[in-house]
Amino acid sequence: MLIKNCKLIYLDKIEEGSVLIEDGKIKEINPSSIANDNVIDGKGLYLSPGFIDVHIHGAGGVDTMDGTYDVINTIAKTIAKHGTTSFTPTTMTVDKKDIRKAMSAIKEAKIKGTDGANVLGAHLEGPFISPKAIGAQNPNYLIDPTIENFNEMVGEDEDAVVSITMAPEVEGAKELATYLSDKGIVCSMGHTKANYEEAMDGIKCGFCHSTHLFNAMTPFTHREPGVVGAIFDSEITTETISDGIHISYPSLRTAYKQKGTDKVLLVTDAMMACGMQDGMYSLGGQDVEVKNGAARLLSGSLAGSVLTLDKAIRNVYNNSNYPLNEIVKMASYNGAKHCKVEDRKGLIKEGFDADLVIFDEDINVKMTIVNGNVVYNTL
């Protein structure tokens, strides 16, 4: 497959060019004249690395916690239409046996592959979080952060765990973070009421990321810097739900200016209503009403989102002065680094997996290619 006549989005620049794909990989960039039966005319549109979503609960009317391969496959197909080529299905604070069931489905999808986006592994959001920053999680299923509880949750599928969100101030969390980070699992601060000192202690013990910046964490003030202050005052990475609902755009711009675009990942935190109409849905067994693009529990708390990564990129592009390549980096290469696959994903580079997206000036996705296969096409 040869994709020609497009603007290639690199980490540091955007240049016109063409890409030759062979055996699911990017074989050559700007090849000299090659006879190819399968030529795609990019029509002067952008060719981007595929987007990577490291925090997503569901889409297409299904939830990761439904715990089957078919459900993960449905999510993979739904989000591929919006340019996402890899993701980490995200679990909720629910019963341990339900998390284990979901882990089994995620592992199967990772090994077997899907009809859409690649499954890179799981993100466990909870159940080792603070009852005082519960958000849309279920407080009835909070348990102590211990190695034993972790092992019971993941069973034989530990090798499919990419990341886990925990509250560093909860007793046992720092010790578990040290244990898990030594195994290569990303430990993320989130759903936490830690103060600045507790957050910084957590970072010393292995927390290297933070979940949905500003949401369900202690805010930054001039005398109490909180978890947000610790994130800003350290080298850990963070993620933003850039839908204009979870975070205002001035706050987003401030965060990006403080952290730099190398340290921020765009995520969706999408739930099952992503790609669906407004109405009643559920998240982690709790009723959620989706109205005017916002998903909320009946109590009024935000319950994930219906955001897609193409829209997140568009929102940041339209509400900041960052060049498009830097915004795309936050939705692709930074996620690849987070999942430790930056040696094969997240860039348009020879030898890398052919996970690519073609989109127009308004970030409307026209084609999605996963492992060299066209999985979505309106060109």
The per-residue pLDDT for 56 is 98
| Nearest C-alpha neighbor of 131 from the set 192, 173, 70, 74 | 192
| Nearest C-alpha neighbor of 190 from the set 230, 153, 161 | 230
d(CA 169, CA 166): 9
| Residue 160 banded pLDDT, cuts 50, 70, 90 | very high
Is residue 165 packed enough to be buried (19+ CB in 10 Å), middle (13-18) or exposed (0-12)?
Answer: buried
The per-residue pLDDT for 32 is 85
Token pair for 171: 């007793």
Catalytic residue among 53, 98, 243, 269: 269
Q: Are 146 and 106 in contact (CB under 8 A)?
A: no
pLDDT digits (tens, 9 = 90+) for 265-320: 999 999 999 999 999 999 988 899 999 999 999 999 999 999 999 999 999 999 99
| 132 contacts: CB under 8 Å, gap ≥ 6 | 193
Count other Cβ atoms within 10 Å, centred on residue 313. 26
d(CA 147, CA 221): 34
pLDDT digits (tens, 9 = 90+) for 224-261: 999 999 999 999 999 999 999 999 999 999 999 999 99
The predicted model gives 35-55 an average pLDDT of: 94
What pTM, to 2 d.p., does this model score? Answer: 0.98
The predicted model gives 69-77 an average pLDDT of: 98
- Beta bridge pairs of residue 280: 289
353 given a catalytic annotation: no
d(CA 169, CA 160): 26
The per-residue pLDDT for 20 is 96
Q: What is the CATH number of domain 51-342?
A: 3.20.20.140
